[in-house]
Structure 1
Amino acid sequence: MGPKKVADVQGKKKMMLSMKIELEIIKKYEAGIRLSAIAKEYVRSPSTIGTILKQKEAIKAITPSKGLTVFSSRKSHVQDEMERLLLVWIKDKEMAGDTITKEITYRKASIIFSDLVHAPAEADAG
């Protein structure tokens, strides 16, 4: 008996909603619009809207980094802190009139991330 053939199935691409849209959904629900009506408006399943509403407190509490449009639960606190510190560093360099290349930015991001990862271990040891 030969190997099984697997049909080529093109699945739907997962489309993440922007934080702005998630906040709009929460506001509309709190204003009294029914979940099913919101789902139709945004062309999403009611379960997707329900999941957003279950997480509404966490979504409202998020203070995104500048330029962040989509919230991902896969992003760790360390990554978010690294992005915040990197943006502060970039602003300082721009204010000083320094030129910043991609390579310099990547190197600085790596240094900041490394410092953040190793800082708790050093604090525990000291």
Structure 2
Amino acid sequence: MSAKRKSMTSPGGSTKKQRKAIDLEMKMKIINDYEAGKKVKAIARDLELVHSTISTILKDKDRVKEAVKALTGFKAIITRQRKGLIHEMEKLLAIWFDDQIQKRMLMSLLIIQAKAHSIFETLKAREGEESTETFTASHGWFQWFRRRFNVHNRSISSEAASTDVEAAEKFVDQFDPC
């Protein structure tokens, strides 16, 4: 029996390119270059991307611009545009999360999940009986949320957050040589 397809690998290794996510900053650079008069083929060559990828980004440039406007403080990687209450909840949660980090508040998985569920229920109540969406703030959802909004190492450990700052300052004052 003869093979109908050519092998995906060559004697030197795999020839299949790896997929890579393109962040909003790169997408805006592509859009700005195109709007400045640069050809799609030239943009693709400069960024080492496929022509069709550039064309797809340019086709969806209005949605990319909207995503940039709604961007939080994170360097978000958005590979597909989401819609609905869960998407809105995640945007609001990302803003809340960034605010909590700036305030150096204690963060844990349970607190974040509870806040996500609370925001979702508030948005659902605002929509009324029209919305049939359901949301479970599971561990899996949180892992995907972390990837989408790049919040990997932004939390404060419980030990650092629970320290007594006033007692520490008094201790330092006692041993200050000046």
1:29 & 1:68 partners in 2: Cα distance?
22
Residue in structure 1 matched with residue 20 of structure 2 by the alignment: 15
With structure 1 as the length reference, what TM-score do the two structures score?
Answer: 0.70
Give, in angstroms, the shift of residue 39 of structure 1. 0.7
Give, in angstroms, the shift of residue 103 of structure 1. 1.3
Q: Percent identity?
A: 27
2:86 & 2:72 partners in 1: Cα distance?
11
2:95 & 2:66 partners in 1: Cα distance?
21
* 1:53 correspondence with 2:58: yes
2:73 & 2:125 partners in 1: Cα distance?
25
Give, in angstroms, the shift of residue 101 of structure 1. 2.0
Residue in structure 2 matched with residue 105 of structure 1 by the alignment: 112
Q: Number of aligned residue pairs: give it.
A: 117
Name which of structure 1's ranges 54-63 and 29-38 shifts more when overlaid on structure 2. 54-63
Residue in structure 1 matched with residue 44 of structure 2 by the alignment: 39
RMSD (Å), alpha carbons:
3.0
Please tell me whether Structure 1 or Structure 2 has the larger radius of gyration of its CA atoms.
2
Bigger proportion of residues as helix: 1
Name which of structure 1's ranges 32-41 and 61-70 shifts more when overlaid on structure 2. 61-70
Any gaps of 5 or more consecutive residues in structure 1?
1-6
Name which of structure 1's ranges 19-28 and 115-124 shifts more when overlaid on structure 2. 115-124
Question: Structure 1 residues 120, 14: closer, same or farther in 2, change over 3 A?
Answer: same
Q: Which amino acid aligns with 1:49?
A: I
Residue in structure 2 matched with residue 116 of structure 1 by the alignment: 123
Give, in angstroms, the shift of residue 82 of structure 1. 1.4
With structure 2 as the length reference, what TM-score do the two structures score?
Answer: 0.53
Query: Would you say the 8 A contact 1:16–1:70 is kept in 2?
Result: yes
Name which of structure 1's ranges 70-79 and 16-25 shifts more when overlaid on structure 2. 70-79
